[in-house]
Amino acid sequence: MKILDVMPKEAILDDLKSQNKKGLLEELVAPLAESTDLNSEDLVRVLMERERLGSTGIGGGIGIPHGKIKDLESLVLGFGLSRKGIDFESIDGEPTHIFFVLITPEDSTGLHLKLLARISRILKNDQFKERLLNAADQDEIFDIINQDDEEF
C-alpha cells in the first residue's frame, strides 16, 4: 500500500488558514469527513483527545495528528500545508507547517503504526520537506508525494 492509496487528492489542502490547533484540525478533517460519511465533529473530537495525551507536533515544522474511530471501515489520510505556520505545541516549540492527519479504524493498530512510521521516515528527508513547503498548489503537492511514495 502507498500513501496515495489512502489519501485522496481532495484531502490535500495547500493553504490552511487556521491559527489554532482546533481550527486547524477542523480544516484538515473536512475533506476526510466528506469522503467517509463520518461526522467531522467526531473526527475532531478523536484528534483533540489524542492531542491531550501529548502534542503530535513532532518538531521540524511537522505535525502528524492521528486517532482511531470505531465506525471507520478503512484508514484515511489527509495533508495540509500552513504557509504561515501555527503554534501546534510542537516538541521543539517552533511553528508547524506540514501536517499529515491519519484516522484509522479502532482495531487496526499494525497498519496505523506502519503508516505513521512511513510518514515519519519520508519527512526526515529535508529536500522532500522543502519541496512540500514551496509547492504552489494541490497538484504539485500530490506530485511531490507521488515521487517519494513507496510501499509501506
Which of 44, 46, 64, 66 is catalytic? The answer is 66
φ, ψ of residue 74 to 5 degrees: the values are -145, 160
Which cell numbers in the block locate residue 49? 483527545
- 50 burial class (0-12, 13-18, 19+ CB within 10 angstroms)? middle
Our answer to whether residue 66 is catalytic in this structure is yes
Alpha helices in 15-67 (DSSP H): 21-36, 40-53
SS3 at position 26: helix
Contact criterion met (CB below 8 Å) for 63 and 98:
yes
List active site positions.
66
